[in-house]
Amino acid sequence: MPGYSQRFGRHARRVAACLTLTASWAIVHISIAHANPVAAQQLPVTVPSIQRWTPDTGTAGFTLGTESRIVADGNSSEVAQRFAADLTRAGKPISTADTGDRPGDIVLRRGETAIPVAESYHIAITDRLTITADSPAGLVHGTQTALQWLRQRIALPGGTVEDWPDYAERGLMLDTGREFFPVDWVKARIRDAAYLRMNMLQLHLSDTQGFRLASTTHPEITSPEHYSAADLREILDYARSYGIEIVPEIDMPSHMNAILAEHPELVLRPARTTAQDAASDNTIAGGVGGKIDLTNPAAYQLISDILHEFVPQFPGRYWHLGCDEYVSDYTRYPQLSDYATKTFGPDAVPGDVIVGFANWAADIVESFGKTPRAWNDGFDHAGVLSPKPELVVQYWSSSAGGLPWFPGGRTPDEYTRAGHPILNAAFTPTYFATGGAAAALNAPPELLWVWDPRVFVNGQRLPESDRSLLRGSLVFVWCDDPTALTPEQIVTPLRARLPIMAQHLWTGTGGISYAEFLTRLANVSWP
Task: Say which CATH superfamily domain 52-163 falls into.
Answer: Chitobiase/beta-hexosaminidase domain 2-like (3.30.379.10)
Model pLDDT for residues 485-513, shown as the tens digit of each residue? 999 999 999 999 999 999 999 999 988 99
What is the structure's pLDDT at 276?
A: 59
H-helix or E-strand spanning residue 162:
strand 159-163
Dihedral of alpha carbons 408, 392, 316, 424, sign: positive
Residue type for 23, please?
A
pLDDT band of residue 74 (cuts 50, 70, 90) is confident
- Band of the pLDDT at 376, cuts 50, 70, 90? very high
Query: Which residue, among 75, 141, 147, has the nearest Cα to 106 in the 3D structure?
Result: 147
Please give the helix or strand (H or E) that residue 412 lies within, else none: helix 412-417
Give the tens place of pLDDT for each residue, 91-133. 999 999 999 999 999 999 999 999 999 999 999 999 999 999 9
Crossing angle for the helix pair 77-89 and 229-241, nearest 10 degrees? 90
The structural domains of the chain, with segments of one domain joined by +, span: 6-27+166-501, 52-163
Over residues 209-231, the pLDDT tens digits come to 999 999 999 999 999 999 999 99
Q: Which pLDDT value is given to residue 449? A: 98
| Crossing angle between the packed helical segments 487-506 and 183-195, to the nearest 10 degrees | 20
pLDDT digits over 353-371, tens only? Answer: 999 999 999 999 999 999 9
Quick one: pLDDT at residue 15?
A: 42
Query: pLDDT, tens digit, for every residue of 257-315?
Result: 999 999 999 999 999 776 655 555 444 433 468 999 999 999 999 999 999 999 999 99
Q: Over the range 69-103, which residues count as b (16 or more CB within 10 Å of their CB) and which as e?
A: bbbbeeebebbbebbbebbeeeebebebeeeebee
At residue 457, what are phi and psi to the nearest 5 degrees?
Answer: -60, -25
Average pLDDT over residues 35-45: 57
**How many whole angstroms from its chain centre is CA 314?**
16
Q: Are 239 and 245 in contact (CB under 8 A)?
A: yes
What is the per-residue pLDDT across 143-195, written as a single tens digit (0 to 9) for each? Answer: 999 999 999 999 999 999 999 999 999 999 999 999 999 999 999 999 999 99
Reduce the DSSP state of residue 159 to 3 states and report it: strand
Confidence at residue 29, expressed as pLDDT on a 0 to 100 scale: 34
Supply the mean pLDDT for the chain.
Answer: 91
User: Per-residue pLDDT for 41 more than 70?
Assistant: no
Give the residue-averaged pLDDT of 414-429: 97
Distance CA 259, CA 289 (A): 10
- What H or E segment, with its residue span, contains residue 70? strand 69-72
Q: Is the pLDDT of residue 14 over 70?
A: no
Element (H, E) at 269: none
Which one, of 311, 290, 296, 314, lies nearest residue 221 by Cα? 290
What secondary structure letter does DSSP report for 37?
P
Give the pLDDT mean for 469-481: 98
**pLDDT for residue 39 is more than 90:** no
Nearest 5 degrees, angle CA 25-CA 30-CA 36?
A: 145
CATH of domain 6-27+166-501: 3.20.20.80
Give 44: exposed, middle or buried? Use CB within 10 Å, 0-12, 13-18, 19+: middle
Residues 308-360: pLDDT tens digits? 999 999 999 999 999 999 998 999 999 999 999 999 999 999 999 999 999 99
Distance CA 11, CA 9 (A): 5
pLDDT at 282: 44
Range 443-451 average pLDDT = 97
Separation between Cα atoms, residue 43 and residue 465, nearest integer Å: 36
